[in-house]
Amino acid sequence: MSKENTNKSLQGITQLVTDSTIGAVDLVESMHKRIVHPPLLPSTPIQHFITNISKITYKNIRWSSLFIGKSLNKIIQKISPIIGEIKSTDKQQILKSVLNGVVGDYLEEKQNPLQITMHFKHAKRTVELNKNSLQELIPNANGKILLLVHGSCMNDLSWTKNKHNHGELLAKELNKTLVYLNYNSGLHVSKNGKNFNELLENLVINWPVTLEEITIIGHSMGGLVSRSAIYYGQQHQKRWIRLLDKVIFLGTPHHGAPLEKVGNYLDVILKSIPYVKPLAPLAKIRSAGVTDLRYGNLIDEDWKGKDRFELHKDERKNIPLPKETDCYAVSAVLGKETNYMSKNILGDGLVPVKSALGKHKAEAKSLNFKDENTLIVNENSHTDLLSNTKVYDRLKLWMSK
């Protein structure tokens, strides 16, 4: 990591800590006020006096936090010339991806340096979208791209699990050029979908050799981002759409993930209890990307004009699978095949089987994957899909067609 990047990261952490401190102060003040002024009871003059005094104290704490934060930023700017080269470790990248998954929309809104800007990677190096850079980075590039799109809170490193990487083996055995997409998974799926659509078009335009086909494998949220990109690519008649040969979804919540719905109910419950109502904001520490997982939102219309923390019906627009592209879906089940609870409710711990296979009680919303294009693996979790050898064998079979 360069001195400039180190400086930006430190500034980003400072800004995040400052804003978090102010948020915590708001929370404490709200709780204080709720305790001094009990719900449904009249307040006395002394209670109002206590509240007014405390307002001054909390105001001073907020002012001090902002002052300290600005001072730290100035200090960081001054010491950055003497900060030595710091190697960017895999752990740091993973932590940054998790942070973006949880509060990535906030990081973008505040223009925090810790936010991830969408980019392609190859062999742990960022891909610059021009022919010369691509030729230098990938001298053996061929006309068949295998593109891996990670899930929420993940990055390109997440595809390697238990020393196994589906993409690396498939690219080697099937003679494809492996490329990863890294993105801020805290943003709305539709925003990432539109960015992915444009970025992929630029990759196609600048690819150093004639392109024959593109295969996309999306894990979890990565599958939704891929479907969103396909939708916008079709709307704008992008050339990469004509090259899209296959799309494979691993544990993708096509019709939502129950755990996000639980978070939504928690938000409503906290609001309904007088003494814990000030704690309700804690239930809202879920990024736009995470709340999109409630039903599997793909496009702007699925979320615009709605409070993403309010309970509402599934009002998504029906987006079918691309007709000219072969599509496949893989689901995992925590328990054994005979375990009804695991198969029909728990799924892989995050995504139910029906959601992963695109099945919906409303026929219009069902994605209608062909039976031979689906796979269910038992006694596996959501992330086990990334290292399961049975999954790899099926991926190889599908991609060999």
Instruction: Find the angle CA(301)-CA(307)-CA(309) to the nearest 5 degrees.
Output: 120
Query: Could you list the pLDDT tens digit for every one of the 401 residues in the chain?
Result: 454 555 555 455 445 444 444 344 354 445 445 444 455 445 565 545 445 555 554 454 344 444 444 444 443 344 334 333 334 577 778 878 877 887 788 888 878 787 899 999 999 999 999 999 999 999 999 999 999 999 998 999 999 999 999 999 999 999 999 999 999 999 999 999 999 999 999 999 999 999 999 999 999 999 999 999 999 999 999 999 999 999 999 999 999 988 776 665 445 445 544 544 554 554 556 789 989 999 999 999 999 988 887 777 888 999 999 999 999 999 999 987 656 555 566 688 889 999 999 999 999 899 999 999 999 999 999 999 999 999 999 999 999 98
Asked if 177 contacts 108 with a C-beta cutoff of 8 angstroms, the reply is no
Distances (CA, A) of 290 to 185, 262, 299, 346, 381: 8, 12, 14, 18, 19
Model pLDDT, residue 63: 44
The pLDDT of residue 209 is 97
Other C-beta atoms lying within 10 Å of the C-beta of residue 252? 31
Residue 365 token pair: 């919303």
Q: How far apart are CA 73 and CA 9, in angstroms?
A: 11
Q: What is the pLDDT of residue 233?
A: 98
Per-residue confidence (pLDDT) for residue 114, from 0 to 100: 79
8 Å CB contact between 152 and 377: no
Q: Within 13 Å, how many C-alpha atoms sit on residue 19's CB side?
A: 13
- Helix axis angle, 166-174 to 389-399, nearest 10°: 40
Question: DSSP letter string over 129-185?
Answer: SSHHHHHHH-TT--SEEEEEE--TT--GGGGEETTEEHHHHHHHHHT-EEEEEE--T
Q: Which two tokens stand for residue 326?
A: 């072969």
* pLDDT value of residue 25: 39
What is the distance between the alpha carbons of residues 303 and 160, in angstroms, rounded to a whole number? 33
